[in-house]
Amino acid sequence: EEFAVILPGADPAAARTVAEALRRRIEDLALPHDGNEAVGVVTISLGVATVTPSHDVAPTTLVELADQQLYRAKAGGRNRVEG
């Protein structure tokens, strides 16, 4: 499943801090996940992206950038933040 957290006005460092806090909180819940052989609990991977709106930036750019970072996080081992 995928979802978005929109943080108006957040710079890249703030967005990454929020993402890392979310990742830790989900991991700390220690929800059993038999399909996750690596750690045995539910974890999340997050892709972080920030965009300053302008006429030169397509409306889909933010989602596309975040999606690229998400797949980078998954490829890098999951349960991580990229971006």
Phi-psi region of 79 (alpha: psi -120 to 50; beta: other; left: phi over 0): left
39 in Cβ contact with 79 (< 8 Å): yes
3-class secondary structure, 42: coil
Tokens of 76: 């890098």
Query: What residues are labeled active site?
Result: 1
